[in-house]
Amino acid sequence: MATTEVLLVKPVDGLGGEGDQVKVRAGYARNFLLPRKIAVTLNASNKKHVEALKKRRAEREQTELSSAQELGKKLEKTSLAFAVKTGEGGKMFGAITGQDVHEKLIASGIELDKKKILLFTPVKTLGKHTVKIKLHTDVTVELGFDVVSENPIEPAAVEAAPTGDRTEKKSDRRPRKDAKE
């Protein structure tokens, strides 16, 4: 496989940030990176731009980190509550997902990408829960939220097994016919 070295002008997920010299397959560089002006071919004149790109990258990463830390402090002060419909015994109808948390955060005035909310399984029980929010590679915040019932919880009625009905035992059944016969 033919490879070529390119200089990244913009950050690419899974490949690197601006100013990085990376080896990629020739087709990927020719058909994707170069036409979109995400990278330039590596030659003597482009090597001079490496320092400028690295400086710009460091500044961008510093501003991203500081904004993530500010947002993290704001999120730590935030508390969310979800009122859900419940049935007998406090059993929830539906579940609280990452999308619900995202909508509640936007309603409270916090703009956040929903991909940063790490709620792996939907919440299906009442009570206090936490969700991790990864704002930056170095900044992760745990946000607590409450799930409460919007109607009063009624105790579940215990159903008694009817008497007099006979349950069939395995030994009372007809024997199976083998498929090979």
Q: Mind listing the pLDDT tens digit for each residue in 132-175?
A: 999 888 888 998 899 988 877 666 555 555 555 556 566 666 66
| CB-based contacts of 15, cutoff 8 Å, min separation 6 | 8, 22, 24
pLDDT digits over 79-101, tens only?
A: 889 888 888 877 888 899 989 99
In this structure, the answer to whether residues 100 and 42 fall within a common structural domain is no
CATH number at residue 115: 3.10.430.100
Domain that holds residue 114: 73-149
In this structure, the answer to whether residues 87 and 133 fall within a common structural domain is yes
In this structure, the answer to whether residues 141 and 88 fall within a common structural domain is yes
Q: What is the DSSP track for 64-103? A: HHHHHHHHHHHHHT--EEEEE-B-GGGPBSS-B-HHHHHH
In this structure, the answer to whether residues 94 and 39 fall within a common structural domain is no
Q: How far apart are CA 48 and CA 161, in angstroms?
A: 83
Provide the CA 62 distance to its chain's centre, in angstroms: 24
In this structure, the answer to whether residues 134 and 98 fall within a common structural domain is yes
In this structure, the answer to whether residues 90 and 138 fall within a common structural domain is yes
Provide the CA 20 distance to its chain's centre, in angstroms: 27
- Does the pTM exceed 0.75? no
Residue 171 lies in a domain: no
